[in-house]
Amino acid sequence: MPRTDGAEFTIDASDILAEVAEAFAKKRANYLASLSPEQRAAAEAAFAKDEAAALRKCEEDERAYEGELEAVKKATDAYHRQIQADRKAGAIGTLAEVGRPFGLSAVAVGRILDEHGLRERWNVDVEGTPPGMRTPVSAPLFGTRYVRVDGGPLHIVRGVVEGVAVFDPFDAREYWIVAKVQPLLAPHAKPRKK
């Protein structure tokens, strides 16, 4: 049964699990062979009871895990719907959307946010990420939308931490809070053409 770890490497533990099961079966058979017939019957009954209890526990754990996954999915969907509602209301937006009232392009807004250090990105798993993987968006060869370092996607922007942006895990995008970035963009506003 191949699985993947956090770094997307495939792990196949079926051989190891088969060896463990075989060794356990041999040890159990040797133990039962060393008992008298009465003791063996009692031990086999105890083993059967323990195995049934362990199986029930596994099934309960699997149901609980499925329930947790469903709850996380519902919470993520609700968060995404709230972000989209806020976006439609104009409370948050992409770089282009927050720059439009000031006559600024997405690139210009990005440069202004970079001047204030609000677009540095790092991996979602901050504790599990070595400090050397923190990469500013302005680094050469990296785009402004989606950054990869050593094959790992980097999503969270500094603005999320500073409270001027929100991150939507549904579409892996950042949306800037209009009320927070307006003071930064207003001095750079272009005069409207009449």
Give the confidence band of 168 by pLDDT, cuts at 50, 70, 90.
Answer: confident
The one-character DSSP state at 192 is P
The one-character DSSP state at 129 is S
Q: Are residues 104 and 134 in the same domain?
A: yes
- Compute the average pLDDT of residues 69-93: 91
> Which class for 84: exposed (0-12), middle (13-18), buried (19 or more C-beta within 10 A)?
middle
Q: Are residues 101 and 79 in the same domain?
A: no
Q: Are residues 142 and 184 in the same domain?
A: yes
Last residue of a domain, one of 48, 71, 86: 86
Give the confidence band of 11 by pLDDT, cuts at 50, 70, 90.
Answer: low
Q: pLDDT value at position 19?
A: 86
Rounded CA gap, 149 and 158, in Å? 17
Give the confidence band of 129 by pLDDT, cuts at 50, 70, 90.
Answer: very low
Within a domain: 2: no
Q: Does the pLDDT of residue 107 top 70, yes or no? A: yes
Q: pLDDT value at position 28?
A: 87
Last residue of a domain, one of 86, 110, 132: 86
Q: Are residues 109 and 52 in the same domain?
A: no
Rounded CA gap, 158 and 25, in Å? 54
Q: Does the pLDDT of residue 163 top 80, yes or no? A: yes
Full domain range(s) for residue 164? 92-188
Within a domain: 42: yes
Q: pLDDT value at position 122?
A: 60
Strand partners, 174: 167
Q: Does the pLDDT of residue 3 top 60, yes or no? A: no
Within a domain: 1: no
- pLDDT tens-digit series, residues 16-52: 878 888 888 899 889 889 989 999 899 989 988 988 9
Residue 123's nearest CA partner among 110, 111, 133, 114 is: 133
> Which class for 134: exposed (0-12), middle (13-18), buried (19 or more C-beta within 10 A)?
middle
**Percent of the chain residues topping a pLDDT of 90:** 32
The larger pLDDT score, comparing residue 139 to residue 117, is at 117
**How many other β-carbons are positioned within 10 Å of the β-carbon of residue 93?**
20
